[in-house]
């Protein structure tokens, strides 16, 4: 296992869509282990492959349980929660984002088997946040309020 560099929001690769994984190989398993180690070392609760410079549809989330999501697809969304989010790729800022309170997600696991996950609360937020990364979307693209983590909220400027 190895710590990987975390790509920050200045890098245009974070705005690109990731390619699906066609087969879970040893190389994919090593990438996932590296992602887990990198996420934990950075005190994160999730990380997507693009954040470590790999444009593949892989994410890991660890709130209470550890989830490995390969080619994840959200099939159901329910409710609304408006909470503060931060991101390992957007250092020094946090923002408030609307996310579903409950999601159902289908994804491959490390054995290449399809799994169905039904999650809610913070875990649902993390699934949505990480899957957005796979589509080239940062939470800052959706946030209604963004602030420096050392300052007060400010309205996000429209571009």
Long-range CB pairs of 67-70 (<8 Å, 24+ gap) are 67/117, 67/119, 67/123, 67/127, 68/32, 68/107, 68/109, 68/110, 69/105, 69/107, 69/117, 69/127, 69/130, 69/131, 70/21, 70/24, 70/28, 70/107, 70/108, 70/109, 70/110
Q: How far is CA 46 from the centre of its chain?
A: 5
For residues 49 and 18, is the Cβ–Cβ distance under 8 A? yes
Count CB atoms within 10 A of the CB of residue 96: 17
Active centre residues (catalytic): 130
């Amino acid at each position: 296992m190895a710590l990987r560099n975390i790509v920050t929001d200045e890098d245009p690769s974070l705005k690109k869509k990731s390619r699906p994984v066609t087969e879970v190989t040893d190389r994919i398993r090593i990438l996932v282990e590296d992602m887990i180690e990198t996420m934990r070392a950075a005190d994160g609760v999730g990380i997507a492959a693009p954040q470590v410079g790999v444009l593949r549809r892989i994410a890991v989330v660890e709130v209470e349980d550890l989830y490995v999501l390969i080619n994840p697809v959200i099939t159901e969304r329910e409710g609304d929660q408006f909470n503060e989010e931060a991101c390992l790729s957007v250092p020094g800022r946090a923002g408030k984002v609307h996310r579903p309170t409950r999601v159902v997600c289908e994804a491959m696991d490390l054995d290449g088997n399809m799994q169905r996950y039904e999650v809610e609360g913070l875990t649902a937020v993390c699934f949505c946040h990480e899957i957005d990364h796979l589509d080239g979307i940062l939470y800052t693209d959706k946030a209604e309020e963004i602030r420096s983590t050392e300052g007060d909220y400010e309205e996000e400027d429209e571009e």
